[in-house]
C-alpha cells in the first residue's frame, strides 16, 4: 500500500478508536440495572484503553510524516441502556477494531514495523473481544 493510503487507513482507525472511546463513556454513564456498577467500571476501563489505542495510532501517523485527522461520526441517544445491550455493543466495537487492524496488517505488507504494530493490535483487540464475549455467557 502506498504511504498516502496507509496514512488514510491509520487516520480512519484513529477516528474509529476515538468514536469507540466516546461510546464507551456514554454507555458507562447510561447503563441501568443490577450490573450497573460492575459494568460501568469495565466500560470506563475500555474507554481508557481505547483512547490509549487512539493515541498510539496518532503517533504512528506522525512517525510516517502525516498529521492525525479526525472525522467523527458519533450520535448518541439520550436513553438508558441495559448491561446486556452495553456488552453486545462492546463486542461489536472490539470486533470492528480487530477487523480494522487485520486490514491494516494486510495493507502494510512489506513494512515490517507497521506489520508488527498491526499484529500486536490485532492480538490486543482479540483479547478484548474474548473478554466481552465471556461477559455475555450465562
Residue tagged 467500571 (cell numbers): 41
CA distance linking residue 18 with residue 25, whole number of Å: 11
**Confidence class for position 138, pLDDT limits 50, 70, 90:** low
CATH (domain of 120): 1.20.1260.10
| Structural domain total, the chain | 1
Distance CA(43)–CA(86), nearest Å, equals 8
- CA–CA gap between residue 58 and residue 34 (Å, rounded): 37
Residue 137 — pLDDT band, cuts 50, 70, 90?
A: confident
pLDDT at position 6? 93
pLDDT in tens, 77-132: 899 999 999 999 999 999 999 999 999 999 999 999 999 999 999 999 999 999 99
Q: Which domain holds residue 18?
A: 3-136
Amino acid at each position: 500500500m502506498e504511504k498516502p493510503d496507509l496514512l488514510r487507513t491509520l487516520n480512519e482507525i484513529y477516528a474509529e478508536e476515538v468514536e469507540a472511546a466516546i461510546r464507551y463513556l456514554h454507555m458507562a454513564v447510561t447503563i441501568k440495572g443490577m450490573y450497573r456498577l460492575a459494568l460501568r467500571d469495565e466500560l470506563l476501563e475500555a474507554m481508557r484503553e481505547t483512547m490509549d489505542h487512539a493515541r498510539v495510532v496518532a503517533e504512528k501517523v506522525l512517525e510516517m510524516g502525516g498529521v492525525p485527522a479526525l472525522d467523527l461520526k458519533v450520535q448518541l441517544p439520550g436513553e438508558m441502556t441495559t448491561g446486556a445491550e452495553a456488552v453486545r455493543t462492546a463486542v461489536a466495537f472490539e470486533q470492528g477494531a480487530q477487523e480494522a487492524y487485520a486490514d491494516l496488517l494486510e495493507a502494510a505488507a512489506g513494512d515490517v514495523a507497521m506489520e508488527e504494530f498491526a499484529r500486536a493490535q490485532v492480538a490486543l483487540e482479540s483479547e478484548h473481544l474474548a473478554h466481552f464475549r465471556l461477559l455475555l455467557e450465562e
